[in-house]
Amino acid sequence: MKRFILTAISCMALLCSCEKFIDLQPLDKITMDDYWSTSTELEYYTRQFYPAFCPWTQMVADMATDNDNMISGSPSTIMNGVRSKSTGNWTWEWNNIRNVNIFFENYTKCTSGYEAYKQYLGEAYFFRAWFYFNLLKKYGDVPWYSHVIQMDDTEALMRPRDSRVLIADSILADLDHAVTHLELRKNVGNNRINKEAALAFKTRVALFEGSWQKYHAGTEFGTAGADPVKYFRACVEAAEELMKGDYQVGIYSTGNPDEDYYKLFGFDNMSDINEVLLYRAFNAAEGAGNSTQGFVTYNSDSKGATWELVSSYLGKDGKPYDYLNTAVTSKGNAFLTKIAEDCDVRLKSTVWIPGDLMSVGENAYFNGPVMEGGALQLCPTGFQIKKTANPSSPAAGKSWETQGETGLILLRYGEVLLNYAEAKCELDNSVAYEVLNLLRQRAGMPDFTVNKQSLDKNKMDYGYSVTDELYEIRRERRVELALEGQRYNDYMRWAASALFKDKRPKGYPVDLTQYPDFSSKVDENGLVDYFKSVMPNGYQFRNKQDYLYSIPQDELTLNPNLKQNPGWN
């Protein structure tokens, strides 16, 4: 199978192998009808969007930032309310959308039959939806362009922002078109855009917008007249299509709950894993590798999971676990070992536990977190990240310069099940037990039950009340999708800055006999308080401003019809 999702260098090499493509004028000045005449030329054109839509190479290093599940060496500027106003322009953020629209304006010139080019048409719809969703999350209202804007088209260039409802609806419409044209995963693989991936992405978009409009309603960030129910239903329908249709989907499970969840994220080749609907593959020999293993099996890169994430995991009995009480009698490595024994195995799959094998080739084992060291070695919370590790990888136990090929999951079926369960609960407070139990069974946990929030020793505060059912579904989402890049989107769409505002992220109960220099970075409960002096008042997220980025100042100057986002004037 061709491996399409590579680096920009690899993609350029593919494009440059076509002499006719090299001889073309710049893409925004294409006038030669004969270029678009074959399906092969459409294929080469759409390949340029693969590295553009997925610029990341590592899950934890690139995607798991700016949220309350993990900290890096310094506080998140977004969470801490110190993100500055953009003074430049956003031209580069629209280039891919413009290039996709060039495809739409020219693909009908293709003389090949529909069956020959339908995959590339579907990819174009998917890519436009993906690029626009990024803009929607970042800026909210933006202009919707479905055609190529020319430099002399003053009317189009000077348009005001369209409602985010129009943008969201247009994205979902594009994804419906993508589903219609794309090939099934079994025909093109999961290293290429496919029908299942488009349906999965639709559940993500619809859930995001439904939640946004529900929890931001009545604020500067909501849209008057928006109907959250419409989006929750769209999420449910897309998920049900995947769950009940003839698609290659499933939960990765070999019957070994102690390892299955952990192994899922560390494979190099994920093409045979039904749960992985879309992933980015790498090839170190061709200069298209990554440093995933170096940053989880050798260095910590100043990253560490938070107490807030870790204390969300239930005990193996399916009940809330009293982590704070355990921390009174168990410190350091003893605490890590204790919670690994007592709690959901997804916990010990996410953070390293003393005695864990880190590298087969280097015969390296985890002896404890690096609490004192340079930026590359330091783990600031004591909960050292394990997720995405693969001890059998040739790059395991070696520095980040040694390139590996660990796959990067972009869309997986496990997320679809969680999107479905949350949307169903939002619609009528029902619980999709059978769906959630698929995730629980993989981890060897008891069937999903709704615990009363009053029993939770580590209760999450969303800043508003939620039902016990929704609370528990959100917990399951946090645990299952930990460090996969969704937590930032979640607290944004839930309008839930209360989770961390005026609070500092904490770490494990450090053993001060082992790390005496950490005495100044410990709270009253003996937990690591790494930002104690840097952020004495906790994160200072600006509730009336930080849910969106600012519109770049140059754009507001050039186009007075654009309006700035709330709080950025």
Instruction: Give me the sign of the Cα torsion angle 449, 453, 458, 461.
Output: positive
Percent of the chain with pLDDT over 90: 91
How far, in Å, CA of 278 to CA of 214, rounded?
29
What's the pLDDT at 32?
Answer: 53
What confidence tens digit (pLDDT) does each residue in 237-265 have?
999 999 999 999 999 999 999 999 999 99
What's the pLDDT at 151?
Answer: 86
What's the pLDDT at 517?
Answer: 85
| Segment 329-344 mean pLDDT | 98
Residue burial 29-66, b: 16+ Cβ < 10 Å; e: rest: ebeeeebbebbebbbbbbbbbbbbbbeebbbbbebbbb
pTM attached to this predicted model: 0.94
What's the pLDDT at 196?
Answer: 98
Residue 459: Cβ within 10 Å count: 12
Residue 123: Cβ within 10 Å count: 30
Answer yes or no: is 196 within a domain. no
Statement: residue 30 has pLDDT above 60: no
Answer yes or no: is 401 within a domain. yes
Statement: residue 192 has pLDDT above 70: yes
What confidence tens digit (pLDDT) does each residue in 463-499 have?
999 999 999 999 999 999 999 999 999 999 999 999 9
Domain that holds residue 398: 282-406
What's the pLDDT at 24?
Answer: 42
Statement: residue 505 has pLDDT above 70: yes
| Segment 194-217 mean pLDDT | 98
What's the pLDDT at 18?
Answer: 36
Half-sphere exposure of 237 (CA within 13 A, CB side): 9
Nearest to 65 by CA among 385, 346, 417: 385
DSSP per-residue string spanning 289-346: -B-TTHHHHT--TT-EE-HHHHTTSPBTTSS---HHHHHHH--HHHHHHHHHHHB-HH
Six token digits for residue 194: 């496919």
Answer yes or no: is 70 within a domain. no
Residue where the block lists tokens 């840097």: 534
How far, in Å, CA of 485 to CA of 61, rounded?
10
Residue where the block lists tokens 């029908």: 195
| Segment 434-440 mean pLDDT | 98
Answer yes or no: is 8 within a domain. no
Statement: residue 391 has pLDDT above 90: yes
What's the pLDDT at 366?
Answer: 98
| Segment 318-336 mean pLDDT | 98
| Segment 531-535 mean pLDDT | 96
Statement: residue 5 has pLDDT above 60: no
Per-residue pLDDT band for 410 (boundaries 50, 70, 90) equals very high
What's the pLDDT at 31?
Answer: 54
Per-residue pLDDT band for 25 (boundaries 50, 70, 90) equals very low
Non-local (6+) Cβ contacts of 218 within 8 A are none
Answer yes or no: is 334 within a domain. yes
Q: How many domains does the chain have?
A: 1
Statement: residue 16 has pLDDT above 80: no
> Would you call 408 helix, strand, or coil by DSSP?
strand
Instruction: Give me the sign of the Cα torsion angle 416, 388, 366, 517.
Output: negative
Of 10-19, 79-88, 158-167, 489-498, the range with the lowest mean pLDDT is 10-19
User: 71 φ, ψ to 5°?
Assistant: -120, 160
Q: State the Cα torsion 411-398-74-76 to the nearest 10°.
A: -10
Answer yes or no: is 341 within a domain. yes
Percent of the chain with pLDDT over 70: 94
Statement: residue 15 has pLDDT above 90: no
Statement: residue 211 has pLDDT above 70: yes
What confidence tens digit (pLDDT) does each residue in 72-97 have?
989 999 999 999 999 999 999 999 99
Average pLDDT, the chain: 94
How far, in Å, CA of 362 to CA of 366, rounded?
12
What confidence tens digit (pLDDT) does each residue in 349-374 have?
999 999 999 999 999 999 999 998 88
Non-local (6+) Cβ contacts of 525 within 8 A are 324, 327, 509
Answer yes or no: is 96 within a domain. no
Answer yes or no: is 27 within a domain. no
Statement: residue 51 has pLDDT above 70: yes
